[in-house]
Structure 1
């Protein structure tokens, strides 16, 4: 598998340098490229029907196929005008870190090797940045954490810690059979990960209590308290609350301070889904929107969103280190703890989650923060907030555009409304769905759509892009209005 000779290594090095140069050039000139383009049917078929390779091929030939058939048709997250869903763009430094990490091929599940220390370090940095370092009682002054594939996995692990900590018995040993139903509370705006987590943890979807939100999309405290009281009266066991620090639909932030007080009063574990919003703590001007997050029992968030790191980079922080360890720790004869050798220090990260095999994804975090620093990341997050405010004002000022939800953070939900004539809700939904698709297919912008709690379909612009400029959003408004007028005339 390695080049078989010195000459072959030299050929490989030359080809590798060419690929790296091409990749850097693609990133450098990404603004000049289409944001997204559909994959032609012929190329889809060529990939889908390709036989399993038997004989060897040259690296150059394989790269040429990759460059023509795959790279032009990715999901376009890195473009400055990509604002669909909530995605980061990747960075040149993180790209290099991934190359180095892949070459090192480190296992970051057990032992106290240098990569384990790197992950411990970045987790400490992140806990400090979110205010969790030293928050709470003295025994919790050193929080625990783990890097994950994303916030879905981080949220799942956080809820597993909560289940073990609040069950009142050894739930890992005994399971849930014959016990009172363990209940979790969350708002109706909570992301779909929560229902999946309830299934995977054996709690069942019926044990997830969905509570109504107010006009700003925040969970309502009084209905929440009534639901908890009613469940306890039925002999059920409430044990955890999921608070949202930026809902997926339009970025609403629950009252985290009030929910912390409620959890203390009701003896509930407070888990915060901060998939993208948690990192607002890095921007001093806007950090107050996250007040109370630092006192959560656990927080899940993504670094491949508002920190622009490549997929997959999520994080779970747990305020009680002992509780985190107790939820996952396991022993095996073939992974015996030792004070010496490769496994000195035990299973470390393998005892903080469900994965034993773990790669060196911490290196991309460590390198990016070491090169660019937390201050720059905070400034870029603040820039996105200002761009969202700018877009909101453009929408409010335009007679053919209408805001559909309050802008809490960096997500703007609005739609095109043709001037002059009344239209039914169904007609407006159809018009705006078509606008979103046509904007995507134009290759000029990447936006998404969503259906809000009101039932209205909204154009959704989620801004976590460090490469965007204000003029990009001005161009988007013009394009949407132009497309809206065309679709209005055709569909309405």
Structure 2
């Protein structure tokens, strides 16, 4: 029996799923932030049998309502402070359904999603002050591409850096691989996101050749230490080629000093890549925008619209100063067959690994267009303001201590009860269901890290978080609750 729905069946189901999504979003703040799934519910999903006969659309919606939306991760709640996972922007939610209804491959061609992606990539560049792609195929034109996230964007950007280094050394990397090249050396701090090491390993460079550069007292890459490390590696016959700076580390939100790092990179012929996955959007807040001075000088910038902007997952973006280098790293179309007409950047599939690419740009466009620059600025400024307020609350609390300055919208702090307590605190707070915070190790100490991305969060939510931390710590240590 055919289960292909009629147009009317689909219309009714689409209206029902819209109501389901709206009810879910409306009720998020009234429920617990997160709760462990009951074992029976977990097993029910894990052991779902493959159906022999099809399920009608209304039956699918019942499963979604009862077994999926009933057990969320928690990131939509205003008291969720874990990791770097945002609440979904409503405009992006709507656009996701419309994009799926169109269901193109955004590899290239002449259809709306391809041109819209070029526009939103330009919007992203303009928002963060990076050289924006222009309608020109001239040599050295900036460009970019949407990806699944910054992890993939980092792979693309570092592949371009590797390609340029090999080309400058007179080596045909794509034909001969790394054999015959001196070891290529990259530089980053200990706080650099793990996606950088993954990219270095995947690209065949080897994590042994990813140097850890010293940080200053604020956790930022030390340009003098970078220059010293590069000089030592050159003297040893190695080939320095890349430095990775951060526009907001995930541990503390620290933003590197880009101008002095860019000066070293230019003097030494290094590719400067900026990991802006979470934090690059902070440049939109006038209060902290000066911390991002020089970010525009990078050769590449990777960032996630699905983090601070709230675009529904998944959506990252790789921006490059010279799109030709990225294209030369991946394209299998011979250069003499490329259309050099003005405005033609070729197919997106020439700039990365994906051939069939999803229609990511519609939800980015909808999220940015719905808010406008002013709305995005207001949201980001609100969350950084809340972070500074939370930092002040921590400093005023005798049971807590701030472990790093509040740079962006991440607050790293700890309870005075010691490492064992701080190690167990995140899970203890999460299990209570009223607030959600995660842990990390910063400079050898267990800390809590609260990430504020949701502009709907209030000062009361911050006070609740700290109350939950104090109460959970007392339970862990067996101390009596405060009266």
Task: State TM-score, norm by structure 1.
Answer: 0.91
Alignment match, 1:421: none
Q: Distance in 1 between matches of 2:16 and 2:298?
A: 48
Q: Is the 8 A contact 2:437 2:448 kept in 1?
A: yes
Q: Distance in 2 between matches of 1:106 and 1:38?
A: 37
C-alpha deviation, 1:170, in angstroms: 2.2
Alignment match, 2:325: 323
Unaligned runs of 5+ residues in structure 2 are none
Q: Distance in 1 between matches of 2:95 and 2:121?
A: 17
Is 1:413 the counterpart of 2:412 in the alignment? yes
**What are the equivalent positions in structure 2 for 1:375-386 lying under 5 Å apart?**
375-386=374-385
Q: Is the 8 A contact 2:401 2:416 kept in 1?
A: yes
Alignment match, 2:49: 51
Q: Distance in 1 between matches of 2:436 and 2:293?
A: 32
Q: Is the 8 A contact 1:127 1:143 kept in 2?
A: no
Alignment match, 1:189: 191
Q: Distance in 2 between matches of 1:219 and 1:201?
A: 24
Is 1:71 the counterpart of 2:54 in the alignment? no
From 412, 415, 425, the counterpart of 1:435: 425
Alignment match, 1:485: 474
Alignment match, 1:279: 281
Q: Is the 8 A contact 1:330 1:351 kept in 2?
A: yes
Q: Distance in 2 between matches of 1:397 and 1:29?
A: 33
**What are the equivalent positions in structure 2 for 1:341-352 lying under 5 Å apart?**
347-352=346-351
Alignment match, 2:389: 390
Alignment match, 2:403: 404
Identify the range of structure 1 (10-19 vs 363-372) with the bigger mean alpha-carbon deviation: 10-19
Q: Is the 8 A contact 2:426 2:439 kept in 1?
A: yes
Partner of 1:101, secondary structure, is helix
Alignment match, 1:290: 292
Q: Distance in 1 between matches of 2:348 and 2:374?
A: 28
1:240-266 CA distance string (max 9 Å, x none)? 110111111111111101001010110
**What are the equivalent positions in structure 2 for 1:118-129 lying under 5 Å apart?**
118-129=116-127
Partner of 1:213, secondary structure, is coil
**What are the equivalent positions in structure 2 for 1:133-172 lying under 5 Å apart?**
133=131, 142-167=141-166, 168=168, 169-172=171-174
Q: Distance in 2 between matches of 1:397 and 1:446?
A: 21
Q: Distance in 1 between matches of 2:181 and 2:430?
A: 50
Is 1:16 the counterpart of 2:14 in the alignment? yes
Unaligned runs of 5+ residues in structure 1 are 419-427
Check 1:4–1:401 CA distance in 2 against 1; reply closer, same or farther (3 A cut).
closer
1:467-491 CA distance string (max 9 Å, x none)? 2111110111122112222222269
C-alpha deviation, 1:15, in angstroms: 2.6
Partner of 1:29, secondary structure, is helix
Q: Distance in 1 between matches of 2:3 and 2:370?
A: 33
C-alpha deviation, 1:50, in angstroms: 2.1
Q: Is the 8 A contact 2:383 2:409 kept in 1?
A: yes
Q: Is the 8 A contact 1:97 1:364 kept in 2?
A: yes
Identify the range of structure 1 (47-56 vs 383-392) with the bigger mean alpha-carbon deviation: 47-56
Q: Is the 8 A contact 2:282 2:408 kept in 1?
A: no
C-alpha deviation, 1:114, in angstroms: 1.4
Q: Distance in 2 between matches of 1:273 and 1:190?
A: 8
Task: State TM-score, norm by structure 2.
Answer: 0.93
Name the count of aligned residue pairs: 471
Q: Distance in 2 between matches of 1:139 and 1:277?
A: 31
Q: Is the 8 A contact 2:187 2:243 kept in 1?
A: yes
Check 1:298–1:371 CA distance in 2 against 1; reply closer, same or farther (3 A cut).
same
Alignment match, 1:254: 256
Query: What is the Cα-based RMSD across aligned positions, in Å?
Result: 2.3
